[in-house]
Amino acid sequence: MGTADPPPDAGAGARRRLLFGDLFFGLRRAGIPIGLGDWMALMRVLHDGVVRPDLADFYTVARAVLVKHEAHYDLWDQVFAAVFAGGAFPKKVHDELLAWLDSPLPLPDLSEEELAALEQHSLERLRELFEERRKEQDERHDGGNRWIGTGGTSPFGNGGRNPAGIRVGGQGGGKSAIQVAMERRFADYRSDRILDTRQIAVALRRLRRLSRVDGDLELDVDESIDETCRNAGFLSLAFRPPRKNQARVLLMMDVGGSMTPYTRLVETLFSAAKNLHHWKKLEPLFFHNCVYSRVFESMTGSKTLPTAELLQDRPKDTFLIFVGDASMAPSELLSPHGAIDYFEHGETPGFVWLHRLRARFERAVWLNPLPPEYWRGYTTELIGGLIPMFPLSLAGITAAIDRLLKRTPTPVPELDESLLRGHW
């Protein structure tokens, strides 16, 4: 009696079960707390056809079901990529692309004079030329000075040599790219750091604005004594609302790029601030290099908030604290469309947005993770002249809070438009 042939999709089903097993155990090994109940809930979602047979949809729904805290989003991305690597590309295209990027031609050996002789374009002209090349080019290109490729002197591509251009994907090596054409995804700063936060929390606790505005009435002993004395000894009790901290804090943190080495330091500050429960409201927001027309409520989820809304809706007496190294290309700070994210189409330069924020919130400081002796960069000096800058250290935080609490806020410098004219 012969055995029945297996169904046509038996092999595919086995592969899917293997992938799902790798995902489940990979997430557990990475430290993401996932129980069998969570996993069965995801299986029910798949069984009921809630998710389309699309890897992007599965990524979004599975993360929503399995990951309970945004601090684990970065670990989720790493495990998901390891399990489903290349799922967004047809295999042939994916393999060809990786083979190309893994084997660029050697860098051309150019003298300093030859490098200086290379034609350099304005940012706007580079963008125009880049769009033209994207439409015209339909194959791999290495070397040369025109096409998007590797190992050449073209201003477009990766692994080449050009004083200024648009990097396409990959990691920077020469640090001369003025824009990057790729999807930039960074991890939010974790807010659950518990080590080394106590001293920072003690320093932050000094940032307060006490006021008697609401709450159950309580006996004011000093005022009661004064009232009794004024009434010739007849007892008179005075009641008033308790003194509560009415301070609102806007914490804006630079994420990714040159800030990556300082991730743990910033997470320590963020953890201390978030777990303090000391202010009327703490609003953490994120940006990359500089603030433009939008800021991120979550870098991993790409949920954004218009900067204009901050300027309009947040009270003027909000304490504004920036955290970042203030290091970037001058065009990122002073030029329209200057954001290093190629797909950020903002007409207003980042420096103008910073000035608007500084003018709206007079009590503002900038915490820089770099030691003050390294604050000699052009953009760092410009930002430091606009927003009082302090080192991201215990002493620096203490000094920054002293500045925020001064009876008279630091005057806001006038916007020097001559700085912008040369970059418009």
Provide the β-strand partners of residue 248: 281
The tens digit of pLDDT for each residue in 29-51 reads 888 888 888 888 888 888 888 77
Choose among 31, 66, 341: nearest CA to 190. Answer: 31
Q: Which helix (H) or strand (E) holds 309?
A: helix 307-313
The tens digit of pLDDT for each residue in 109-145 reads 656 665 555 556 555 665 666 667 666 665 656 655 5
Rounded Cα distance between 25 and 32, Å, is 10
* Residue 369 burial (CB count, 10 A): 21
* Residue 193 burial (CB count, 10 A): 21
Secondary structure letter of residue 413 according to DSSP: P
The three-state (H, E, C) secondary structure of 183-216, written as one string: CCCCCCCCCCCCCCCHHHHHHHHCCCCEECCCCC
The tens digit of pLDDT for each residue in 173-229 reads 444 444 444 454 566 666 655 445 677 877 788 887 644 455 566 777 777 788 888
Instruction: Identify whether the C-beta of residue 191 lies closer than 8 Å to the C-beta of residue 270.
Output: yes
3-state secondary structure of 57: helix
Question: What are the φ and ψ backbone dihedral angles of 120, each rounded to 5 degrees?
Answer: -115, 130
Encoded tokens for 308: 């204009």
- Give pTM, 2 decimals: 0.54
Burial of 217 (0-12, 13-18, 19+ CB in 10 A): exposed
Residue 323 scores a pLDDT above 90: yes
Give the model's pLDDT for residue 208.
72
Q: Return the half-sphere exposure (C-beta side, CA atoms, 13 A cut-off) of residue 213.
A: 8
Please report, as a single letter, which amino acid is at residue 312: Q
**CA dihedral (331, 328, 253, 345) positive or negative:** positive
148-152-155 Cα angle (round to 5): 55
Rounded Cα distance between 377 and 326, Å, is 9
187-189-192 Cα angle (round to 5): 125
Give the model's pLDDT for residue 73.
77
Q: What is the rounded average pLDDT of the residues 262-267?
A: 90
Provide the β-strand partners of residue 239: 219
* Cα 396 to Cα 201, 393, 400, distances in angstroms: 13, 5, 6
175-177-181 Cα angle (round to 5): 130
Q: What percent of the chain has pLDDT over 90?
A: 20
Rounded Cα distance between 241 and 299, Å, is 40
Rounded Cα distance between 263 and 257, Å, is 10
Rounded Cα distance between 175 and 163, Å, is 9
Crossing angle of helices 73-83 and 55-66, rounded to 10°? 140
Encoded tokens for 96: 């060809």
Give the model's pLDDT for residue 321.
96
Give the model's pLDDT for residue 194.
43
Rounded Cα distance between 404 and 414, Å, is 20
Q: Which of residues 402 and 3 earns the better pLDDT score?
A: 402
* Category of 257 on φ-ψ map: left (φ > 0), alpha (ψ -120 to 50) or beta: left
* Cα 305 to Cα 266, 291, 311, 344, distances in angstroms: 21, 11, 11, 14
Q: Which of residues 344 and 234 earns the better pLDDT score?
A: 234
Crossing angle of helices 73-83 and 10-29, rounded to 10°? 150
Choose among 220, 222, 224, 217: nearest CA to 241. Answer: 217
Encoded tokens for 143: 């070397």
Q: What is the rounded average pLDDT of the residues 284-299?
A: 90
The tens digit of pLDDT for each residue in 52-69 reads 777 777 888 888 888 877
Please report, as a single letter, which amino acid is at residue 54: D
Instruction: Identify whether the C-beta of residue 156 lies closer than 8 Å to the C-beta of residue 143.
Output: no
Per the prediction, the chain carries an average pLDDT of 75
**CA dihedral (127, 133, 135, 139) positive or negative:** negative
